[in-house]
A and B are shown apart, each in its own frame.
Chain A
């Protein structure tokens, strides 16, 4: 190390220190997958799907504990709920734990609705008018007479004087009929009554189901609480879980395991290759501060720009920054095999323009992603841009001052020699170099037209079949509502959404009568729109002849009409305000309303659930006539959104490619170096798509991300070769450096193709095939494009 290098090394290390301290002092990492969910215009299908996917439904777990009988299920339910509430990991992370109907629900129903019952007499003012007609009154009194003759008379005789139309009993009946499964209540505890009997506990978390930082300790708490329950109540108890959070954690664990395996494999391979070529572990050790600087720079940049960094961005970003190891490998190769006579710093200066152009093209390629509407891609762009730039600076600052110990080995010299003989051929032998190029063109021509896209969300995330089977089994015992088809009513405000929802309820009732669905759940019985309540109430109170006519009808039917004076008194009173959501949310009735209602900044969303969907097209057609209403296919909406994102990202990538080519043109302003720089990457990427298509592999959004990395690395190969075109000895060494870069990149990315996770497999396969394609094409094109003069290898320093 010379004295002049000390300030540069210090600057490099200081940069690393500042960035690492900045990041580690207060890292903000999120694992919420909604960060990578598509956005859409307000109230579009994808927007609604996203809100539902992140709403209370997705945050609710169902816990079933199998017991011997119902009495044990009740005891277990109480004990388990207490254990869950006592566990801080659970208690601090849940919005609610529901193991039974909330206390006071009956009283709340009465207190909220009794005074407002006239507004619930019918489903419309017209229907109310019909009920109050002479024929309607006769029917109502007859029904009252019938009901009083039943065992229900004891209760009805107390309600009827003020409510001869039996509005309140009807309301209670509708509320009781909402549940669709085998969920019963025993001693105020939810019990699954299908065999075996089981305690049922609903746990709604505060955090998104995909926020593993919060969900992991919560799940640990749930399971440890159950272990304690088994200790106190017997090992025969069995816990069954259902929840989106389990899938998210399982996927994350699987990905981490795969990435860990790949990381170990690539690190071992990386060390072996460096030992083989440089006879020392010093070069890979020197790479560590370069990669670390890039990583921390990317993380800090994202935190400054977005407030936090997503875990996936950290993972992908780290891999992208790993591309910057190409710069170090390029430098080490030249410093060991073709060093500048004036020392390592001069070697770096000689290579600097190529390194700078290489980093610049990578940055330009990712900068275009800043225009993506996908928030995760914008984060990736910032990470990659800052990381690559910082890694390049670190390479410039640190590597030359620490490279005097890096020497060639006989293996590296032998490799260069072999490659030179193979590539620097003359005459007709050069035609062999056309083989890979022509092959790539033919493959592209054959395969590219067959390229297909699979935009389903399932291609990005493998569903754990065991967990899914458990989910299905739990839902079958507790709730049989459709999980993927939901009717959504939206509006500028709550009242507008409720008005739309009134029409949804009417449509679903009609659909049920026509056999299109077996049943449905709706908030309308409890919360029709205020407008409807006022209209119906006005139809009742405004009917001035109602009491005299009703009195006459009651007397004719054998009733003591004076006993119904409370009804007449209620008629004379002014109408109370209609029931609104707030009236319910502040009472135990909130649990009845929450599943159907999502609060959103732009207004309100009301959900209706169907059971036994038999004719989806007919139901969709019926709902299509209702403004502000959508029969939402959540999976389908996600797929369509991802397809749209993929299409827009393809456009952005195309712009990125154009920008890269323009940058290279601006540097060289000559055809040959531009062709050497860009053609391997462009043709390599196209051939990669073609190969995958011919292999029957459908592409997806992650394939595009991987292709972006392929192009970035491929352009690096070409740029390095183009920069050294005029330096015969150095050019031969560049064959080695680009080959070394390709090997380490395949070790870093390509091994992901061994993963079971579709997302990692896709990235690994695409990048593995693409990097090798780019390498072969870069070597062939680089050799072909040179003037046909054999060159003697330079004399490397003796190691």
Chain B
């Protein structure tokens, strides 16, 4: 199989939620953001009845902050890569997929930011910006995951089969599995599985065709997070109007 430049960049965004740290420079936004303790426990709420209900729940979210811990199991590595950090999602405009920022705090600070127009990687070596306008394949692929958080079931259904199942032994548990329908997504991803309790996503697992997998555990989440203008600028690069 011959990977392509677009797949290269597309992988970036798809695996954003489960990506490990980009070792490097402390991103300017991350340290300044005060850690807000989640004020609600969505795991205690009733679980969604089906995929549509789950996506409606996601769609109602305009802001999200979550702490995560992640393990990457790669065939090339003798031991899994481990990382910890915070995930931020913000959707100011329902006509757009939204903004997704992943800030790694350990082992080395780094960040990944997805906006409607670009993908921005920052580490100790500097900043790399991928213009999403240059390739619609890259843009569509990268926006896939953002669309998950945005609850855009219609858009996701064009590229994935969507399987939802409620846990049999757990009254609050559920899983949502996305399987790519065709190329080029199926070259990058075997499956993306979200595991949840109640209204909370507690685990995200990505399976790759070559056997590699990444497991991200959501430690805590605030799905009703509000971002003021300063935070919008620091985290997502959104200028105040």
Tell me the residues in window 114-139 of chain B with beta carbons closer than 8 Å to chain A beta carbons: 117, 121, 123, 125, 130-131, 133-136, 139
Inter-chain contact B76/A563, CB cutoff 8 Å: yes
A110 neighbours in B (Cβ, 8 Å):
2-4
Looking across the interface, which residue of chain B has its beta carbon closest to that of A74? B136
Inter-chain contact A153/B5, CB cutoff 8 Å: no
Contact A158:B3 (CB < 8 A) given known A146-B24, A187-B136, A560-B77: yes
Cβ distance A785 to chain B, nearest Cβ, rounded Å = 80
Stretch of A176-184, A243-251, A419-427 contacting B (4+ beta carbons < 8 Å): A176-184
Inter-chain contact A155/B74, CB cutoff 8 Å: no
Interface residue A576 (Cβ < 8 Å from any Cβ of B): no
B123 neighbours in A (Cβ, 8 Å):
146
Complex Cα distance, B72 from A611, in Å, reads 42
Inter-chain contact B14/A107, CB cutoff 8 Å: no
B212 neighbours in A (Cβ, 8 Å):
153-154, 157
Report the count of interface residues on A (CB-CB < 8 A).
44
Interface residue B51 (Cβ < 8 Å from any Cβ of A): no
B7 neighbours in A (Cβ, 8 Å):
106, 155
Tell me the residues in window 569-609 of chain A with beta carbons closer than 8 Å to chain B beta carbons: none
Inter-chain contact B136/A161, CB cutoff 8 Å: no
Inter-chain contact B135/A169, CB cutoff 8 Å: no
Complex Cα distance, B192 from A184, in Å, reads 29
Cβ distance A407 to chain B, nearest Cβ, rounded Å = 82
Interface residue A188 (Cβ < 8 Å from any Cβ of B): yes
* Residue among B11, B83, B112, B117 facing the most chain A CB atoms (10 A cut-off): B11
Contact A184:B134 (CB < 8 A) given known A157-B75, A560-B77, A563-B76: yes
Which residue from A152, A558, A563 sits with its C-beta under 8 Å from B8? A152
Which residue from A111, A114, A151 sits with its C-beta under 8 Å from B16? A151
Complex Cα distance, B77 from A150, in Å, reads 14
Inter-chain contact A106/B5, CB cutoff 8 Å: yes
A109 neighbours in B (Cβ, 8 Å):
4-5
Contact A149:B210 (CB < 8 A) given known A154-B188, A176-B135: no
Complex Cα distance, B4 from A586, in Å, reads 19
Looking across the interface, which residue of chain A has its beta carbon closest to that of B17? A151
Inter-chain contact A175/B5, CB cutoff 8 Å: yes
Looking across the interface, which residue of chain B has its beta carbon closest to that of A188? B136
Inter-chain contact B11/A152, CB cutoff 8 Å: yes
A173 neighbours in B (Cβ, 8 Å):
5
Contact A149:B21 (CB < 8 A) given known A154-B212, A176-B135, A186-B136: yes
Interface residue B231 (Cβ < 8 Å from any Cβ of A): no
Tell me the residues in window 78-133 of chain B with beta carbons closer than 8 Å to chain A beta carbons: 78-79, 81, 83, 110, 112, 117, 121, 123, 125, 130-131, 133
Cβ distance B131 to chain A, nearest Cβ, rounded Å = 8
Interface residue B175 (Cβ < 8 Å from any Cβ of A): no
Inter-chain contact A148/B72, CB cutoff 8 Å: yes
Looking across the interface, which residue of chain A has its beta carbon closest to that of B207? A154
Interface residue A193 (Cβ < 8 Å from any Cβ of B): yes
Inter-chain contact A154/B5, CB cutoff 8 Å: no
Inter-chain contact A149/B20, CB cutoff 8 Å: yes
Tell me the residues in window 80-119 of chain A with beta carbons closer than 8 Å to chain B beta carbons: 106-107, 109-111, 114
Cβ distance A555 to chain B, nearest Cβ, rounded Å = 8
Inter-chain contact B189/A154, CB cutoff 8 Å: yes
A161 neighbours in B (Cβ, 8 Å):
76
Interface residue B13 (Cβ < 8 Å from any Cβ of A): yes
Interface residue A559 (Cβ < 8 Å from any Cβ of B): yes
Inter-chain contact B133/A153, CB cutoff 8 Å: no
Which residue from B3, B23, B112, B133 sits with its C-beta under 8 Å from A193? B133
Interface residue B50 (Cβ < 8 Å from any Cβ of A): no
Cβ distance A110 to chain B, nearest Cβ, rounded Å = 4
Inter-chain contact A146/B8, CB cutoff 8 Å: no
Cβ distance A20 to chain B, nearest Cβ, rounded Å = 60
Cβ distance B157 to chain A, nearest Cβ, rounded Å = 18
A191 neighbours in B (Cβ, 8 Å):
133
Cβ distance B141 to chain A, nearest Cβ, rounded Å = 11
Interface residue B195 (Cβ < 8 Å from any Cβ of A): no
A188 neighbours in B (Cβ, 8 Å):
136
Cβ distance B112 to chain A, nearest Cβ, rounded Å = 7
Complex Cα distance, B131 from A179, in Å, reads 11
Looking across the interface, which residue of chain B has its beta carbon closest to that of A148? B74
Interface residue A457 (Cβ < 8 Å from any Cβ of B): no
Contact A559:B78 (CB < 8 A) given known A149-B83, A175-B5, A176-B134: yes
Inter-chain contact A149/B2, CB cutoff 8 Å: no
Cβ distance A682 to chain B, nearest Cβ, rounded Å = 67
Complex Cα distance, B220 from A469, in Å, reads 57
Interface residue A145 (Cβ < 8 Å from any Cβ of B): yes
Cβ distance B183 to chain A, nearest Cβ, rounded Å = 11
Which residue from A111, A114, A145, A154 sits with its C-beta under 8 Å from B23? A145
B21 neighbours in A (Cβ, 8 Å):
149
Cβ distance A585 to chain B, nearest Cβ, rounded Å = 20
Interface residue B12 (Cβ < 8 Å from any Cβ of A): yes
Could you give, for residues 11-34 of chain B, a 1 whenever the CB lies within 8 Å of some chain A CB and a 0 otherwise?
111111011111110000000000
A185 neighbours in B (Cβ, 8 Å):
133-136
Complex Cα distance, B131 from A519, in Å, reads 16
Inter-chain contact B133/A106, CB cutoff 8 Å: no
Cβ distance A197 to chain B, nearest Cβ, rounded Å = 11
Interface residue B182 (Cβ < 8 Å from any Cβ of A): no
Which residue from B3, B12, B24, B77 sits with its C-beta under 8 Å from A151? B12
Looking across the interface, which residue of chain B has its beta carbon closest to that of A142? B23
Which residue from A158, A176, A558 sits with its C-beta under 8 Å from B210? A158
Interface residue A49 (Cβ < 8 Å from any Cβ of B): no
B9 neighbours in A (Cβ, 8 Å):
152, 176
Contact A154:B2 (CB < 8 A) given known A149-B72, A558-B79: no
Complex Cα distance, B22 from A152, in Å, reads 10
Interface residue A160 (Cβ < 8 Å from any Cβ of B): yes
Inter-chain contact A155/B11, CB cutoff 8 Å: yes
B208 neighbours in A (Cβ, 8 Å):
154, 157
Inter-chain contact A150/B19, CB cutoff 8 Å: yes
Interface residue A159 (Cβ < 8 Å from any Cβ of B): yes
Complex Cα distance, B107 from A146, in Å, reads 11
Cβ distance B67 to chain A, nearest Cβ, rounded Å = 18
Interface residue A172 (Cβ < 8 Å from any Cβ of B): yes
Complex Cα distance, B212 from A150, in Å, reads 13
Inter-chain contact B14/A151, CB cutoff 8 Å: yes
Complex Cα distance, B74 from A161, in Å, reads 12
A114 neighbours in B (Cβ, 8 Å):
2
Tell me the residues in window 156-175 of chain A with beta carbons closer than 8 Å to chain B beta carbons: 156-161, 169, 172-173, 175
Q: Which residues of A contact B (CB under 8 A)?
A: 106-107, 109-111, 114, 142-143, 145-146, 148-161, 169, 172-173, 175-176, 179, 182-188, 191, 193, 558-560, 563-564
Top 8 nearest A-B pairs by Cβ distance? A184-B133, A106-B4, A151-B15, A172-B5, A149-B20, A151-B19, A110-B2, A154-B11
A sample of 11 cross-chain residue pairs with beta-carbon separation below 8 angstroms, ordered by A number, consists of A109-B5, A150-B12, A151-B16, A152-B11, A157-B74, A158-B210, A169-B8, A173-B5, A176-B134, A187-B136, A191-B133
User: With contacts A143-B125, A176-B134, A563-B75 known, what are 18 further pairs, Cβ within 8 A?
Assistant: A110-B4, A142-B23, A146-B125, A148-B20, A149-B20, A151-B13, A152-B9, A152-B15, A154-B11, A154-B188, A155-B188, A156-B8, A157-B74, A158-B1, A169-B8, A175-B5, A184-B131, A560-B78
